Copies of this chain bind each other. A is one copy, B any other.
Amino acid sequence: MTSTLNSRSWTTERRRFVEAGGNTTYACGLGRMVGRVFALLYLTPEPLALEQIAESLAVSKASASIVVRQLAALHAIRRVWVPGDRRDFYEAETDFGVIFRDGLMPGVRKKLQSARAQIERMMEAEAASDVLEVSLSAAPDEATLTREQRAELRRRLKNARSLHSRIDRVLGSKLLSRFL
Protein backbone atom coordinates (compact mmCIF):
# COMPACT_ATOMS: atom_id res chain seq x y z
CA MET A 1 0.00 0.00 0.00
CA THR A 2 1.61 3.23 -1.12
CA SER A 3 0.49 6.84 -1.20
CA THR A 4 1.50 9.33 -3.83
CA LEU A 5 2.81 12.76 -2.99
CA ASN A 6 2.10 14.68 -6.12
CA SER A 7 -0.05 17.64 -5.22
CA ARG A 8 1.16 20.90 -6.66
CA SER A 9 1.77 22.38 -3.25
CA TRP A 10 4.01 19.57 -2.17
CA THR A 11 6.23 19.88 -5.22
CA THR A 12 6.38 23.63 -4.77
CA GLU A 13 7.20 23.47 -1.10
CA ARG A 14 9.82 20.87 -1.72
CA ARG A 15 11.59 23.14 -4.15
CA ARG A 16 11.38 26.03 -1.69
CA PHE A 17 12.63 23.87 1.13
CA VAL A 18 15.64 22.83 -0.92
CA GLU A 19 16.31 26.43 -1.84
CA ALA A 20 16.04 27.51 1.77
CA GLY A 21 18.61 24.89 2.66
CA GLY A 22 20.89 26.32 0.02
CA ASN A 23 20.50 29.81 1.40
CA THR A 24 21.27 28.66 4.91
CA THR A 25 24.56 27.01 3.98
CA TYR A 26 25.42 29.95 1.76
CA ALA A 27 24.96 32.31 4.69
CA CYS A 28 27.38 30.13 6.64
CA GLY A 29 30.07 30.43 4.01
CA LEU A 30 29.51 27.01 2.47
CA GLY A 31 28.23 26.90 -1.08
CA ARG A 32 24.55 26.91 -1.99
CA MET A 33 24.75 23.44 -3.48
CA VAL A 34 25.79 21.94 -0.17
CA GLY A 35 22.56 22.95 1.49
CA ARG A 36 20.43 22.06 -1.49
CA VAL A 37 21.75 18.54 -1.69
CA PHE A 38 21.42 18.01 2.03
CA ALA A 39 17.87 19.36 2.05
CA LEU A 40 16.94 17.08 -0.81
CA LEU A 41 18.29 14.03 0.95
CA TYR A 42 16.72 15.10 4.21
CA LEU A 43 13.32 15.12 2.52
CA THR A 44 13.93 11.76 0.91
CA PRO A 45 13.57 8.80 3.25
CA GLU A 46 15.18 6.36 0.85
CA PRO A 47 18.78 6.59 -0.37
CA LEU A 48 19.43 8.37 -3.66
CA ALA A 49 22.06 7.64 -6.28
CA LEU A 50 24.36 10.39 -7.44
CA GLU A 51 22.59 10.76 -10.75
CA GLN A 52 19.20 11.03 -9.10
CA ILE A 53 20.52 13.87 -6.98
CA ALA A 54 21.96 15.63 -9.99
CA GLU A 55 18.76 15.18 -11.93
CA SER A 56 16.53 16.36 -9.10
CA LEU A 57 18.49 19.57 -8.76
CA ALA A 58 19.14 20.03 -12.47
CA VAL A 59 22.90 20.12 -12.11
CA SER A 60 25.69 18.08 -13.60
CA LYS A 61 26.90 14.87 -12.05
CA ALA A 62 30.29 16.51 -11.60
CA SER A 63 28.86 19.16 -9.31
CA ALA A 64 26.85 16.63 -7.39
CA SER A 65 29.91 14.45 -6.98
CA ILE A 66 31.95 17.23 -5.43
CA VAL A 67 29.20 18.44 -3.14
CA VAL A 68 28.38 14.94 -2.01
CA ARG A 69 31.97 14.50 -0.97
CA GLN A 70 31.96 17.70 1.04
CA LEU A 71 28.78 16.64 2.77
CA ALA A 72 30.20 13.24 3.57
CA ALA A 73 33.30 14.89 5.03
CA LEU A 74 30.99 16.99 7.19
CA HIS A 75 29.24 13.83 8.37
CA ALA A 76 26.04 15.34 7.04
CA ILE A 77 25.28 12.48 4.69
CA ARG A 78 26.26 8.82 4.59
CA ARG A 79 27.22 6.66 1.68
CA VAL A 80 25.09 3.55 1.80
CA TRP A 81 25.37 0.36 -0.12
CA VAL A 82 22.37 -1.03 -1.95
CA PRO A 83 22.66 -4.74 -2.77
CA GLY A 84 22.70 -5.51 -6.44
CA ASP A 85 23.48 -1.96 -7.51
CA ARG A 86 26.95 -0.78 -8.35
CA ARG A 87 26.10 2.87 -7.85
CA ASP A 88 26.81 4.81 -4.68
CA PHE A 89 23.73 5.81 -2.75
CA TYR A 90 23.47 8.58 -0.23
CA GLU A 91 21.18 9.33 2.66
CA ALA A 92 20.99 12.24 5.07
CA GLU A 93 22.34 12.00 8.57
CA THR A 94 19.27 12.80 10.61
CA ASP A 95 21.06 13.17 13.93
CA PHE A 96 22.11 16.80 13.98
CA GLY A 97 24.21 16.14 17.04
CA VAL A 98 26.45 13.94 14.94
CA ILE A 99 26.71 16.57 12.23
CA PHE A 100 27.67 19.29 14.67
CA ARG A 101 29.99 17.23 16.80
CA ASP A 102 31.79 15.16 14.18
CA GLY A 103 31.29 17.27 11.09
CA LEU A 104 31.21 20.94 11.91
CA MET A 105 32.96 21.39 15.23
CA PRO A 106 36.43 20.15 14.31
CA GLY A 107 36.73 22.66 11.50
CA VAL A 108 35.30 25.48 13.56
CA ARG A 109 37.61 24.83 16.45
CA LYS A 110 40.60 24.64 14.18
CA LYS A 111 39.78 28.05 12.74
CA LEU A 112 39.25 29.38 16.23
CA GLN A 113 42.59 28.08 17.37
CA SER A 114 44.34 29.63 14.41
CA ALA A 115 42.71 32.96 15.20
CA ARG A 116 43.80 32.67 18.79
CA ALA A 117 47.35 31.96 17.71
CA GLN A 118 47.25 35.10 15.62
CA ILE A 119 46.11 37.13 18.61
CA GLU A 120 48.97 35.76 20.65
CA ARG A 121 51.52 36.57 17.97
CA MET A 122 50.12 40.07 17.99
CA MET A 123 50.59 40.34 21.75
CA GLU A 124 54.16 39.17 21.44
CA ALA A 125 54.88 41.67 18.72
CA GLU A 126 53.40 44.45 20.79
CA ALA A 127 55.49 43.47 23.78
CA ALA A 128 58.65 43.14 21.70
CA SER A 129 58.25 46.65 20.35
CA ASP A 130 58.72 47.80 23.92
CA VAL A 131 62.47 47.52 23.75
CA LEU A 132 62.52 49.87 20.80
CA GLU A 133 60.52 52.39 22.70
CA VAL A 134 61.45 55.99 21.98
CA SER A 135 63.69 54.82 19.17
CA LEU A 136 64.30 57.64 16.74
CA SER A 137 61.13 57.67 14.68
CA ALA A 138 62.78 57.13 11.31
CA ALA A 139 59.51 56.77 9.44
CA PRO A 140 57.44 59.90 10.01
CA ASP A 141 54.24 58.22 8.87
CA GLU A 142 54.58 55.35 11.30
CA ALA A 143 51.88 54.94 13.87
CA THR A 144 52.80 56.54 17.11
CA LEU A 145 50.91 55.60 20.21
CA THR A 146 50.79 57.19 23.58
CA ARG A 147 51.39 55.13 26.66
CA GLU A 148 47.66 55.01 27.35
CA GLN A 149 46.89 53.90 23.82
CA ARG A 150 49.31 51.04 24.10
CA ALA A 151 47.71 50.04 27.36
CA GLU A 152 44.33 50.10 25.65
CA LEU A 153 45.67 47.96 22.83
CA ARG A 154 46.96 45.39 25.30
CA ARG A 155 43.60 45.41 27.04
CA ARG A 156 41.81 44.74 23.76
CA LEU A 157 44.08 41.90 22.80
CA LYS A 158 43.68 40.25 26.17
CA ASN A 159 39.93 40.64 25.87
CA ALA A 160 39.87 39.08 22.43
CA ARG A 161 41.98 36.18 23.60
CA SER A 162 39.72 35.65 26.56
CA LEU A 163 36.67 35.58 24.30
CA HIS A 164 38.25 32.97 22.09
CA SER A 165 39.07 30.85 25.12
CA ARG A 166 35.52 30.98 26.37
CA ILE A 167 34.05 30.12 23.00
CA ASP A 168 36.46 27.26 22.51
CA ARG A 169 35.64 25.92 25.94
CA VAL A 170 31.89 25.94 25.36
CA LEU A 171 32.27 24.39 21.92
CA GLY A 172 34.30 21.60 23.44
CA SER A 173 31.89 20.96 26.28
CA LYS A 174 29.60 17.98 25.96
CA LEU A 175 26.74 20.17 27.06
CA LEU A 176 26.47 21.67 23.62
CA SER A 177 26.48 18.56 21.50
CA ARG A 178 24.05 16.96 23.90
CA PHE A 179 21.79 19.92 23.39
CA LEU A 180 21.45 19.41 19.65
Contact = CB atoms under 8 A, between A and B. Distances in A.
Interface in A144-158: 144-150, 152-153, 156
Copies in the complex: 2
B111 A27 contact: yes
In the complex, which range does the number of interface residues on chain A fall in? 35 or more
B43 A129 contact: no
A29 to B, nearest CB: 5
Interface in A114-170: 114-115, 118-119, 121-122, 124-126, 128-130, 132-135, 137-139, 142-150, 152-153, 156, 159-160, 163, 166, 170
A118 B45 contact: no
A25 to B, nearest CB: 9
A132 B20 contact: no
A87 to B, nearest CB: 18
Top 8 A-B pairs, shortest CB-CB distance: A13-B125, A45-B149, A3-B133, A45-B152, A6-B142, A20-B118, A10-B125, A27-B29
Interface of A: 1-7, 9-10, 12-14, 16-17, 20, 24, 26-29, 42-46, 92, 94, 96, 111, 114-115, 118-119, 121-122, 124-126, 128-130, 132-135, 137-139, 142-150, 152-153, 156, 159-160, 163, 166, 170, 179-180
